[in-house]
Chains A and B, each alone.
Chain A
């Protein structure tokens, strides 16, 4: 089975540039999550979607960050303009319907972002 697919795997760009990260969740999963991982702060939840609708974006650092999920099989996380402090590994994860069963999340391999 295909897991969560993220692209690109690595991105290096200059500050001020727009960055777009992409994610394809596991087919049939209702939830999609975007995380950021750094040495200092560990794994932080940025935003998550349920059935393509953003549910909680309280983790999004600031207005430079935006996320969309136009359909059940695709999501983007955009940073505009990018800054060096945005350098991190960004993970996408998906899960089946939550609720009582509390389904575990399955992660992609991440996008390593470096802003120069």
Chain B
């Protein structure tokens, strides 16, 4: 099946530092999504990317859809303690030729710890 390689697996940083994480795949995706999961909760969508090369920001978060459509990265600038959590990338692609059904494949996640 499709695999998403997300790295790093974990990061321990100081408050105020910038963070970068990425996902790569051998498959092409139509959409890249980045989610954050807090303990005891479900993943929450942070950023959605729909076009190759697209660069999108959401506050201190910036994500890019790789030009080859096989990768994406997420940057967090000036980290704060509430950035702690698990960050997941996810790739979306159609399952059928009509494009009406699709499957989301998740990376294994990056555990971010921010030291105040």
Say yes or no for A68: interface residue by CB 8 A criterion. no
| Interface size of B as a range | 20 to 34
A56 touches B101 (CB 8 A): yes
Within 8 A of A (CB), among B62-116: 88, 92, 94-95, 99-109
Given known A-B contacts A102-B30, A104-B33, A4 and B106 have beta carbons under 8 A apart: no
Contact B109 A42 (CB under 8 A): yes
Query: Which residues of chain A are within 8 angstroms of B31 by Cβ–Cβ distance?
Result: 102, 104
For the complex, give the distance between the alpha carbons of A50 and B92 in Å.
16
Q: When the two chains form their complex, are residues A104 and B45 in contact, meaning their CB atoms are under 8 A apart?
A: yes
Chain B: residues with CB nearer than 8 A to chain A? 30-31, 33, 35, 40-45, 48, 50, 88, 92, 94-95, 99-109
Q: Footprint of B on A, CB under 8 Å?
A: 4, 33, 42-43, 45, 48, 50, 55-56, 91, 93, 98-102, 104-110, 112
